[in-house]
Structure 1
Amino acid sequence: MAPTPTPPAEPDDSPEAYVGLDAEGAERQARERGWSTVRRLAPGAFVTMEYLAGRLNFEVSEGTVQRCWKG
């Protein structure tokens, strides 16, 4: 039987630290800190509920991060 895959490690980073930052700077900072995928979303956008290790989600309104969460 094949071994169970181990998900990639996520950066030791707090999503709350990105709230209030401009979207461009927040995305750059997230990538520098090791997030493999950074996703910008409009407020109220429909998204899948699957958890993807290494992904950071930004809800952006008027160029500013309003909400941020992992997965």
Structure 2
Amino acid sequence: MKYGPKLNLFLVDNTELTNEQKAEEVAKLETDDLFDLMRNVEGAQDKYDRMVIKAVAGALLAKNIFIF
């Protein structure tokens, strides 16, 4: 898993932002960061709120990237 200030922002332990704000920030990520975040989510779903997970899937879909 890849970690860093940009991706650690979305961890459930990080309380700097609300889950709604985290979801909004997900939409601003570049494609490569979205992929890294998705890999992190797949590796440890319990570390991410459901709203953030949905936002990652939605952001990828908005970029015409389909995940199965």
More strand by proportion, 1 or 2? 1
Larger radius of gyration: 1
Q: TM-score, normalised to structure 1's length?
A: 0.30
Q: TM-score, normalised to structure 2's length?
A: 0.31
